[in-house]
Structure formats: C-alpha cells, structure tokens
Structure 1
Amino acid sequence: MSLFTWLRPSLPAAVDPAMRQRLAQLPKPAPPGVHSLREQRWVVIDLETSGLNLNRDQVLSIGAVAIEDGAIDFSQQFERTLHRPAQKTNPSVLIHGLGPDALAAGSAPATALLELLEFIGDSPLLAFHAPFDQHMLGRALKDSLGHRLQHSFYDVAEIAPMLNPDTVMREAGLDDWIGHFGLQVDERHHASADAQVTAELALILFSQARRQQLDSPLQLSTRLQQWRRRKAQSHSW
C-alpha cells in the first residue's frame, strides 16, 4: 500500500464503484460570475432536520427547486425523504410531518444526496438562513458520501434586509418576509414548499437588486461581503 493510499480517507461503505464514478463526473461548482442574475441558474434548497444541533442532528428531508431564465422552473424540482428508521419522534420531527413510517420508507441517504448533487450541478445555492443548511448538508455529504461541499451559498435572510434597509424587522424570519411581500403560502415546514416560497422571495429580491445596479452573482456577492463588514463594525461600536 502506498503512502498516498494510506493517507487518503476511505469512502463510506455505502459508496459503491458506480456511485464513485458518478461522483467523479460531477461538474465543479462555478464561482460567482459577471453574467446577469437572470442568466444564472440557481438552486433553492430547504432541509428539514431532526433538530437544530449542528453536530448531532440529522437531515431528514430535502426540497429543492431551480430558478432558470428568471423564473421558477417547475420541471426542475427535487424532493427526497431520507431513510432514518432509528430517528426518534420529537416535536422537531413532527412539525415537518415526518413520522416513523415516512422515515423508514425513505431513500438511502447516500443515494438521495448523490442525486441532489447531480440535480444541483455547478449552480450556486440559495437558502433562508443558509449557514445552517450549508453546515447540515455539508456534514451529511461527508458522512454519507465522503464528499466535500464546495458550492457557493447565498443567504436570502441576508439579501432581504440588505436590499430593504428601510424595512424594520428585527431578526426577521421567512414568515416575516413572506408577509411583507404579500406572498401566498399553502404549506410551511415542508422542505419542498419552503424551497418554493424561498424561490418566490428570491425572485422579488433579484428584481430589487437589478434596480440597485446589482445584476450579476459577483456583484451580489461583493455587496453582501461589504454589507456584512458594515454590520459587524456597527455592532462593535
């Protein structure tokens, strides 16, 4: 055995040779580009988890939808419940409507997560409170596939107040912004439904961004970095 082979971490047992080949064929995530927000394909993602502990809780279900050509493409939707038969029922699980039967009948985590990566392709990701989804998804990918998440994540919970500085809502949640823009929601706390309404909110924000001369992923990313720095400085005074 070579030193390189010894140092290289082994893949989880669930990753068979066919899955390794599919992982190897995944496109590399694209960095923020200078093309327009409309030209960019985005994937809006929402995770339902067993709780909010970043190191202990698990991803239970995944919902995602693509934004392409400036609109939600309903032909590009992704929904999976993960096979978690050992998951105990608790309030966090029940609020998502994921009972023991649904979790026992779910897809194998490695298979579902690989299919998600193939659905995402090289597109950047949008989520509400993205750091949580980014961490939980990254840990799930590492545990189930031995894969490191490298996609750019944009936080709709940051973009909304940045583009609407005169809207005073302290620590506004998704429901607050849904109400602010008058969006109609038939269902909440369900991964697919939450991904869809987050996508609707993102389209409103992209329209606002263009009016504020932010019309590329790179411009939006740069402005977000500046906004975070100003926010951190104001909190340090």
Structure 2
Amino acid sequence: MAELVYRPVIGFAKTLFKVWDLKIDCQGSENVPRSGGAVLVSNHISYLDFVFNGLAALPQKRLVRFMAKESVFRHRISGPLMRGMKHIPVDRKQGETAYAHALDSLRSGEVVGVFPEATISQSFTLKSFKSGAARLAQDAGVPLIPMAVWGTQRLWTKGHPRNLKRDHLPITMRVGEAVEAPRDQYAGAITRRLREAVQEVLEAAQRAYPGRPKGLEDSWWLPAHLGGTAPTVEQLRAAEAR
C-alpha cells in the first residue's frame, strides 16, 4: 500500500535535521525485524522522540505506527498528518479501542511504537512502565524491541523552551535486542525485563553521548545522578503533592 503521507514527512524531517545540523548517532537498527509485527518501546524525554524512534527503524525499511494521545489527532495541522501516517490515537478514557487498533496493526505485520512511561519524564530518568506494551506483544505473538533516545530533550521538552536553532546538537539512539513476550508468562514480569532492557540501552546512549553542559545553567538537561540539575523523581513528586 502506498504511503502518500508518511514518506514525504520522512523526507521533510531529514531535511530539517540537515538544516539544524544535528549530529545523529544511531546503532542497533538491525535489531528491528525486517518483516512481521513488533512493538518498539522507548524512553520518553521529548516531544520529538517519536520522530527519532521512527528514524531508527528506517534502515530496516520499516515504518512505525505510534500510539499517541488522541488530542494530537484533533489538531488542525498534526491531526491530518497523524491520520495519514496511520498512527494510533489513544483516548485514555476508552483505552480498549486503541488497544484493539494496535493489536490489529501488529497482527497485520506492522511495527507499533509505544512509550510505556505514558508521559515525558522531566527527570530524564526512566519512570515506571505501564504493562500495555507487554500485553500487546503477548496477544499478538510478536517481540518487544527496546530503544533509547538521548539529547532530544535539548530540542524540545516539557517545561523548557524549544531550541530548534542550528546548534549542532548531538542526538544518540540505541536499539537493543528483542525481548520475548511468551503468552504463558505474567505481563508484569515481562514489563520488568523490558524496563531493564530499555535502561541498558539508555545508559549505553548516555555513555556514547558527546555533548557536555557548558556550565551550571546549561546542565538542566542532565539528570541529577549524572551531575546535572534536572529535578529528581522525589523532587517532582513533592512538587506535584504541593
């Protein structure tokens, strides 16, 4: 089936990457299967993560159908694009509809992209994972592909202004080996293994990342355990409680 929207959008995104002069380092794309269904699972630190997740699958000639909040599909600009690229709207009040849609896509051989943290992590560390990705993989009989992005928070993330200037920012992506999801195993146990796998590739991406803060004011994008000034999980919880 012709991809009348997705492929032009990919071309536009690649042009933007050149204009922004992003230094993209992606390894592990061979772990995305060349055919058949799979659930691509990533950390979530930026509004642009899905763009780079999709980029990581391109060497395998795969187009990823992302699960995204339903409000994005109602936007006058992003809505037609999201529908044209066959992404999957998620209404949190009626999650079973999105689940069924994603399951149909997986069974038809598509790669479905999921952010199991559900929202952007403002600490830039992994939050707890929802079990939906594991359950989808179990029900569809497909593997889970762990992935991590790093550096995207410096472009556009929650609580900070967008930085879409030509700043030569590095973006690092790592894709790990598949995590199997047997139907006879507890989804919670698979989710724990999945989170460990994403944590592993996240740490690999962070170790490989060439960018360093220019000073204290520029260290906002680094988590506290790496010497940055991003809020910790505990600080975020305290702020929410207040």
Q: TM-score, normalised by structure 2?
A: 0.29
TM, length-normalised to structure 1: 0.29
Larger Rg: 1
